Amino acid sequence: MDYLPLFFDLKQRPVLMVGGGDIALRKARLLTRAGAHITVVAHAVLPELQQMLDMHHGQVLIGEYHPELIDGKVLVLAATDDDGLNERVHYDAVACNVPVNVVDNPKLCTFVFPAIVDRSPIVIGISSGGQSPVLARLLRAKLETWIPTGYSRLGQLVGRLRDKVKARFDTVNERRVFWESVLQGQVAERVFAGQEAEAEALLEEQIKIGNASHQVGEVYLVGAGPGDPELLTFKALRLMQQADVVLYDRLVSPDVLDLCRRDADLIFVGKQRDNHAVPQEGINQLLIDHALMGKRVVRLKGGDPFIFGRGGEELAELKKAGIPFQVVPGITAASACSSYAGIPLTHRDYAQSVKFVTGQLKNRTTELNYAELIQPNQTIVFYMGLHTLDLLCAGLVAHGKPADTPAAIVSRGTSRDQQVLVGTLATLAQQQAEAQLPAPALVIVGEVVELQSQLSWFGEERSPVST
């Protein structure tokens, strides 16, 4: 171990910084966040640094550095481009037994600044000992995505009630078991969801009864996006990796499903046309039953749960049963698949509005409000319209939409086998009859489809047939 990781309490403590340029400014930002009172000595100081010091009880000394400035300081930094001056600061600080950092010169440092993930009171420092700061920053970026900002609020809540837990449980082991349950349960999720008052009330109740484990579970309705796992949200990934049970549908890609917790129970509840693995009523009951057993349940849906995903129906049943739940939006297929196909849904030269429409209604009819759909300067996106494509195209034309209106099918959008078929309302059904692009697929109708040939960037394109 090249350096022992330590955390300094710098609140209202004096720190000396030699140098007043950009490097000094970057370090000053960190030090002021930690509450330090900084004295800067330099021949010139950036205005932004001067302003920062004025706001945080610091001071600027314009002039030469001299060793007496180290007296009484708890840390010293040298941030100049004068190698000789930096060495003098180092040797003077070492002689006074004061920790010193010479920026970008590990050999002259008795301490180094780590890359920091700040979720105060939780703080994580990552250091390469000055050997590879870029690698440390890359690791920090990964941790930033894995650790919700809500951990800061959770840490503060735990700190407020720590003494009560200590008084309630006699042994260290009892307290450890209690906190492990709290920090992986509903209290933590309430904090992450911004429900801090509810989280604190629940934690108070669990302290009172002396047990955090016997409780109703929770359901997380998670949008899995259109298939590309990199389109998942951070929150979706976090909940998928802590769920005890995952109920997933047919539109959830294998790549996304692989990101769930390895030991979670995976239950397929997918639906295909005229082939439902589990009826909707059965899915609702599965969610309730597993939650009543105290489990954390992820209901993983392709796209977004609230756009033709029956998310509202499932939540209504959970509400009736008194099951707590959260909703994590996903990138809906219309947005993602059109983007990957190179078709902007809106464009000021072509379309000022967009409509999402299901091509198959609850009673398996296609009685749509065509008068509303044929408005000019509008993009229409049909979900689940592949099996009724001929009816949809004919209906739009019959109600006044020009037959030469551009239209496209995006099959398996965002996946490695994505295909795009481009045509018009007059030709698209016949093109699909010949090409047989597989579901899931979206149908996009509107002038914006003309841009596909210019903006296409992903997957395989099928050219329009000649007319």
Residue ranges for the known binding site for NAD(+) are: 22-23, 43-44
Q: Using an 8 Å Cβ cutoff, are 78 and 90 in contact?
A: yes
What span, in angstroms and rounded, lies between the C-alpha atoms of 205 and 102? 51
- The DSSP element (H or E) to which 381 belongs, if any, is strand 378-383
Q: Using an 8 Å Cβ cutoff, are 303 and 273 in contact?
A: no
What span, in angstroms and rounded, lies between the C-alpha atoms of 311 and 302? 11
CB atoms within 10 A of CB 211: 12
- The set of catalytic residues is 249, 271
What span, in angstroms and rounded, lies between the C-alpha atoms of 451 and 431? 19
SS3 45: coil
What are the binding residues?
22-23, 43-44, 226, 302-304, 307, 332-333, 384, 413
Structure tokens at 423: 């045509």
Task: Kindly give the interhelix angle for 280-292 and 311-321, rounded to the nearest 10 degrees.
Answer: 40
DSSP3 helix / strand / coil % (the chain, rounded to 5): 40, 20, 40
CA angle 46, 61, 76 (to 5 degrees): 90
Per-position DSSP letters for 299-336, written without gaps between them: EEESB-TTSSS-HHHHHHHHHHHT--EEEE----HHHH
Structure tokens at 55: 């706001």
What are the binding residues for S-adenosyl-L-methionine?
226, 302-304, 307, 332-333, 384, 413
Among all chains, which residue has been given the structure tokens 């239950």?
267
Residue 386 has φ and ψ, to the nearest 5°, of: -65, -40
Q: Which residues contact 152 (CB under 8 A, 6 or more apart)?
A: 118, 119, 120, 121, 122
CB burial of residue 92 (10 Å; 0-12, 13-18, 19+): buried
Output the CA–CA distances (angstroms, integers) from residue 308 to 94, 223, 351, in the order listed: 67, 12, 23
What span, in angstroms and rounded, lies between the C-alpha atoms of 435 and 254? 25
Q: Using an 8 Å Cβ cutoff, are 76 and 38 in contact?
A: no
Q: Which residues contact 133 (CB under 8 A, 6 or more apart)?
A: 115
Task: Kindly give the interhelix angle for 196-209 and 150-168, rounded to the nearest 10 degrees.
Answer: 20
